[in-house]
Amino acid sequence: MKGLVVFDWNGTVIDDIAFALIEANAAITRYGGKPLTLEEFQSEVFTPRIDFYLTRDCHPRMRDEVQEVAHYSHEILHQYSSKVSLRRGVKEVIQFLAQKGISMVILSNHIESQIQEQLARYRLTEYFATVLANIDSSDYYRGVTKGPRLKHYLDGLPTTPEQIVLIGDTVEEIEIAREVGGIAIALEGGINSRGRLELGRPDLLLRELEEALPFFQELYR
């Protein structure tokens, strides 16, 4: 395999940070907590998400109602899914990689079925070999992480990719890239602030994905 590019979904392929904040604040205020500003959200959010919500003074019973919180939160996100646009340059980068024969996958903490719906709406399904995401909406809220999911996928490949590139909007993707010996591209404007991404020391830190095109043109000449 010539190469593998792994895309995060929320905040990376799609520009949904505004709706992610609405979702978080809906869950927080539902349990009596203090709502977040965008800056607070990007600077402070962590997983498991329930533990983070409890730092906002949510009622302790929230921990016992993870399934309900997850279902409620994902329903809110799903309501806004038709209003979410792609991040700038996404289609151009994906089409370039496809022309070069580079395999692409989605790696996400979101729900697989909802990602598949959105991929179809954006007419991007054909470009991705698979979607590595959660089946149950409560997995992410319980602290299930996506790194092991990617490692399992890589172990099942017939050949090891010459290069693995991970693109994401959080420190989590940077850390996963390091674990699999890959290149980490971080995008501003998503779940994590620029300051947090800088501390993660990605190989590239970009404002938009379109800025990655010269890098890929050089990597896959």
Q: Can you tell me the distance from the alpha carbon of 154 to that of 19, in angstroms, rounded to the nearest whole number?
A: 32
Name the band, by pLDDT with cuts 50, 70 and 90, for residue 159: confident
pLDDT of 31 higher than 80: yes
Neighbours of 149 (CB within 10 A): 17
Structure tokens at 102: 């580079």
Measured between alpha carbons, how far is residue 154 from residues 5, 29, 92, 157, 181 in Å?
12, 40, 26, 5, 12
Please tell me whether residues 104 and 26 are part of one structural domain: no
Domain count, the chain: 2
Q: Can you tell me the distance from the alpha carbon of 83 to that of 31, in angstroms, rounded to the nearest whole number?
A: 27
Q: Residue 1: its pLDDT value, please?
A: 72
Please tell me whether residues 116 and 143 are part of one structural domain: yes
pLDDT of 162 higher than 90: no
Please tell me whether residues 129 and 147 are part of one structural domain: yes
Residue at a domain's end among 68, 83, 98: 83
SS3 of residue 152 by DSSP: helix
**Using an 8 Å Cβ cutoff, are 184 and 173 in contact?**
yes
Please tell me whether residues 45 and 124 are part of one structural domain: no
Q: Can you tell me the distance from the alpha carbon of 183 to that of 203, in angstroms, rounded to the nearest whole number?
A: 6
Segment 92-100 shows an average pLDDT of 97
Please tell me whether residues 75 and 102 are part of one structural domain: no
Name the band, by pLDDT with cuts 50, 70 and 90, for residue 158: confident
Segment 103-110 shows an average pLDDT of 96
SS3 of residue 84 by DSSP: coil
> Up-side HSE of residue 159: CA atoms within 13 Å toward CB?
8
Please tell me whether residues 95 and 75 are part of one structural domain: no
Say if residue 48 is preceded by a cis peptide, omega within 30 of 0: yes
Name the band, by pLDDT with cuts 50, 70 and 90, for residue 182: very high
Residue at a domain's end among 83, 109, 141: 83
Domain with 136, as residue range(s), is: 4-15+84-219
> What distance lies between CA 133 and its chain's CA centroid?
10
Please tell me whether residues 92 and 148 are part of one structural domain: yes
**Using an 8 Å Cβ cutoff, are 11 and 187 in contact?**
yes
pLDDT of 200 higher than 90: yes
Segment 126-138 shows an average pLDDT of 91
Please tell me whether residues 211 and 195 are part of one structural domain: yes
Per residue in 49-93, pLDDT tens? 999 999 999 999 999 999 899 889 888 888 888 899 999 999 999
Which pTM does this prediction carry?
0.93
Query: Which residues have C-beta within 8 Å of that of residue 51, sequence separation ≥ 6?
Result: 143
Please tell me whether residues 203 and 109 are part of one structural domain: yes
Q: Residue 136: its pLDDT value, please?
A: 80
pLDDT of 146 higher than 80: yes
SS3 of residue 206 by DSSP: strand
Let me know if 117 is exposed, middle or buried by CB neighbors in 10 A (0-12, 13-18, 19+): middle
Q: Residue 2: its pLDDT value, please?
A: 82
pLDDT of 140 higher than 90: no
Segment 164-184 shows an average pLDDT of 96
Residue at a domain's end among 83, 114, 131: 83
Segment 120-128 shows an average pLDDT of 97
Q: Residue 138: its pLDDT value, please?
A: 73
Please tell me whether residues 98 and 138 are part of one structural domain: yes
Q: Residue 112: its pLDDT value, please?
A: 94
Please tell me whether residues 11 and 119 are part of one structural domain: yes
Please tell me whether residues 90 and 183 are part of one structural domain: yes
Q: Can you tell me the distance from the alpha carbon of 132 to that of 153, in angstroms, rounded to the nearest whole number?
A: 8
